[in-house]
Structure 1
């Protein structure tokens, strides 16, 4: 009589799968790799999740939960700034999970969309940001989101020398200040009612004269 195979619950299988991705990346995730980490057959993978697709989704949801937790840390007194800093810090600490969530061609785009939808709701609850019109919040989320993911990727792939939290805070604060100033001043809305006037004021205040086009 053969010995009875050890049973594993969803948490055990998910934990093993997450550790594989954390250590070796998304491409290393296979049913066989999970089974080897559990020292079992592949049966627990399919008996607990039904398919690798379902397991992959659970991993991405776990990555999203850990990302959210990182954005709730009080790196600074500014809750909105902490969201951006938290995303970059998460990328620094969990590069493979970050890459799996944002850079992998998986079939669960709704999870990533949910990340940004959640951030937008937090922006709407911010005592300062909630005073801005919806189109301004959308632009802030779009432009700062691009900057944040770009900075995070540069840290993950070793293109940023100073990876300290202090440096991340400074970079994110500068980007936020410039982008929010653009919204408040009207510079962010190209063709808007304040765009030309505000540019003229800034150039005048800084004594900057733009070259004029010469007639052909």
Structure 2
């Protein structure tokens, strides 16, 4: 039987679709092949096995989330707020994807700085500098603290917590102000 040719992107998109709809447990070579409109042979040719596919799917899903964040970059009062609420919305509306990316063994930062580098959006540190009248270093530290804090709330949402939008906004605003006070007390103002 001749080899089928299917684009790598087609297979990754099919796997992402399954992941978003049904979760990681639903990923199998047969399910992905069916969604991609091919046999399982191209999956093994392109990715060696399902472990290889899932590894590439992780990066593919992260790219999808990066585009999602850009699509929602103006949903808040500023880029920083939009970024935080985008993460919370992702946990609520794309729970399977959120769990795969952020609540699984696939995410393996070797420290907080590596975590920061993997999730921080361009322009947010500068936005925080302007909002809090902070140095670049203080804004970076504040952003990292907010990433950790916001992710905690997002994880609770992905696990079924039902916070109101008002509760989330108030909690985020209070934590931002507390982190600004903290860096100012250390003398990290501009």
> 4+ residue stretches of structure 1 with deviation over 6 A?
112-115
**Is structure 2 residue 123 aligned with structure 1 residue 122?**
yes
**What residue number does 1:16 align with?**
14
Q: 1:132 pairs with 113, 135, 144, which one?
A: 135
- The 2-side partners of 1:12 and 1:114 are apart by 30
- The normalised TM-score by structure 1 is 0.68
**Kept after mapping to 2: 8 A contact 1:67/1:87:** no
Following superposition, the deviation at residue 101 of structure 1 comes to 0.7
**What residue number does 1:150 align with?**
152
Following superposition, the deviation at residue 68 of structure 1 comes to 2.4
Following superposition, the deviation at residue 179 of structure 1 comes to 1.7
**What residue number does 2:40 align with?**
42
Following superposition, the deviation at residue 109 of structure 1 comes to 4.3
Distance 1:8 1:133, change over 3 A: closer
- The 1-side partners of 2:120 and 2:107 are apart by 22
Task: Output one character per residue of 1:145-203: Cα deviation in whole Å (capped at 9) or x when no partner.
Answer: 221111111111111242x4x5543432232222223222x1xx5xx8xxxxxxxxxxx
**What residue number does 2:94 align with?**
94
52-61 or 148-157: bigger deviation: 52-61
Aligned residues: 181
- The 2-side partners of 1:107 and 1:52 are apart by 17
- The 2-side partners of 1:99 and 1:46 are apart by 25
Q: Which has the higher contact order (CA 8 A, sep 6+)?
A: 2
**Kept after mapping to 1: 8 A contact 2:30/2:40:** yes
**What residue number does 1:178 align with?**
178
**What residue number does 1:105 align with?**
105
Task: Output one character per residue of 1:25-74: Cα deviation in whole Å (capped at 9) or x when no partner.
Answer: 22332223312333543211122334433322332223222322343321
**Kept after mapping to 2: 8 A contact 1:140/1:179:** yes
**What residue number does 1:56 align with?**
54
Max Rg structure: 1
**Kept after mapping to 1: 8 A contact 2:103/2:155:** no
Distance 1:130 1:177, change over 3 A: closer
Q: Which runs of 5+ in 2 are unaligned?
A: none
Q: Say which SS state the counterpart of residue 123 (structure 2) adopts.
A: helix
- The 2-side partners of 1:173 and 1:71 are apart by 20
- The 1-side partners of 2:80 and 2:107 are apart by 29
**Structure 1 vs Structure 2 CA RMSD:** 3.1
